[in-house]
Each structure stands twice: as structure tokens, then as C-alpha cells.
Amino acid sequence: MFAGFMTNAWIVGSIAAVVAGVVGFFVVVRGSAFVAHALPQSAFTGAAGASLLGISTVFGMGTFALASALGIAWLGKRGRHDVVTALTLVMLLGTGELFLSYKTEYAQAIYSLLFGEVLGVSANEVLPSAVVAGVAIVAVALMYRPLMLTSVLPDMGEARGVRSHRMEMLFLVVVALATTAAVPVVGALLMFSLMIGPPAASRCFTDSPLAAIALSVALALVTVWASLAIAYERNWPVGFLVGTIGAALYVIGRLWAAWRQAHTVRPGSVGLAPETAPAH
């Protein structure tokens, strides 16, 4: 299963996993799951529009995802974020359907963008995915500290001159990039689950943010690799496998966290003198 046409699927699948693991960590921390649901949908609409115009699908996805990200960020400044996101989502789905109604012969290709079509990944999709994913990951690395500050302590960040709204805008652009890189392999509906399941599970296993990001990437890779292997063996849909394994990881994480809570005494309390504290 490592031969021939599957090679591209393994490469693009791994790229999707890494970018979803990194970007998804902040999606979960910021409580932006709903936006992470809407942006892959907008990528789908963009792809439908691109196929109608006969231009590059990746270009169409990227343009629509970016426009939606900026739109949600801009409108969210005034109205409620969830309402704005929902309206954007509904509008995009409708537009996507309109695009499809005009050009039925591409319906199969567009369908695969919703649910993923790993076995059909072609060699010329690998490089654009890798480049866009690379840009998204470098962007997260560069904005890591202010992004964390505004995610956790927005008022304290504002007082130090870090504009929460500007960081939100930048972050949504990064989610749009991650989406563009990953949608061709896992599909719009399941890029979403890859950005939520592994990062949410990773939080249960460690208290350190950087360790949680590393673990999130590792779990996303395991999810994608296992999904591809099972899909190849059993001919089950990749999207189904990614969604199910992601959810299973989260349940395991929760159980582990509950077990750990019950079996550990927290080191240190108010009365504990600093010098008796564990040093590590």
C-alpha cells in the first residue's frame, strides 16, 4: 500500500495532519471550532466556483477561504461571532450549490472535496499543499506568543498593546491557509474533525502548551495514517475513519484525564514553602 498512486496520498495526508495538529491546537484553545467548520466549507464553494470558471481548484479554495476568514473577522468585530460565522456558512453552502447546479459534469470532483478522495490525489497537488501548509505553520510559530496571550488573557494583552482583534484576523487567515492545504485529501467536512479531535485529545495528556502541540501533531498523523491504511485495506471512506478515530482519541484523552485527576495529589498548595517545591 506504499506503492504507486498511494504515495501521494501518504504525503498529502501527512501534510494535512501536521498543519491540522498545529493550527487546530489554537482553534481548540480559542474556542473557534465553529469557524474551523465554516472555512473548509468556503473552500468547497471556492472549488465549485473555480471549476465553473475552469480555473485552478486550489486557487478557488484559497481565495474563498481567505475572503471568508477576513469577512468573519471583520463582521465579528461588530456583531456576535457565532451569528456572523453561521450566516457566512449558510451563504457559502447556498452559493456552492448554485455553482454546482450550473456544471453537473464536475459534481463528482466537487463531491470528493466535501468528503475527501485520498486515492485520487495526483502528484501536482503535493507541492502546492506542502507550500501552503508550510506558510501556515511558520505563521503560527512566529505569532505563537501574542496569539497565546490574546487567546488566554485578552484584556492583559490589550493593556500591553497586543490588539486581540488583529490577532483574531491573522489567526483566521492561518486557518484559511491550513484549510486550503488540507481539504483536497481529507475533504472539507473532515478537515474540520482533524483540526478538533487530535488537538482536543492532546490537552488531556500534558500541561505544557508546546508538548500539547507536539502531541496534537503526533495524534493527527496517527489518525491520518491509520485512516489511510484501513481505507486501503477495507475500502472504507477516509472521511469516516478520520472522524471516528479523532473522536475516539478524544474519548480516550478524557478518560485518561479523569483517571489522572483521581490518582494524583497536586504538588504544592498555598501553604507549601517555595524551597520544598518540586524543581523541574
Which is nearer to another protein, 55 or 272 (by Cβ)?
272
Which is nearer to another protein, 55 or 152 (by Cβ)?
152
Q: Pull the grid cell for residue 263.
A: 490518582
Which is nearer to another protein, 104 or 208 (by Cβ)?
208
Binding segment (CB under 8 A) for another protein, from list 32-40, 50-58, 159-167, 218-226: 159-167
Q: Which one among 33, 52, 153, 218 touches another protein, defined by CB under 8 A?
A: 153
Q: Applying CB under 8 A, does 143 fall inside the site for another protein?
A: yes
**Smallest distance from the beta carbon of 177 to another protein, in angstroms?**
17
Q: Which one among 52, 70, 91, 148 touches another protein, defined by CB under 8 A?
A: 148
Interface residues for another protein in 188-247 (CB under 8 A)? 202-204, 206-209, 211-212
**Distance (Å, rounded) from C-alpha 124 to C-alpha 107?**
21
Q: Applying CB under 8 A, does 162 fall inside the site for another protein?
A: yes
Q: Applying CB under 8 A, does 155 fall inside the site for another protein?
A: yes
Q: Pull the grid cell for residue 200.
A: 482536543
Which is nearer to another protein, 80 or 160 (by Cβ)?
160
Binding segment (CB under 8 A) for another protein, from list 63-71, 87-95, 160-168, 226-234: 160-168
Q: Which one among 13, 96, 146, 184 touches another protein, defined by CB under 8 A?
A: 146
Interface residues for another protein in 245-274 (CB under 8 A)? 266-270, 272-274
Residue 215: closest CA among 36, 18, 32, 27: 18
Residues that bind another protein (CB under 8 A): 29, 141-146, 148-149, 152-153, 155-162, 202-204, 206-209, 211-212, 266-270, 272-278, 280
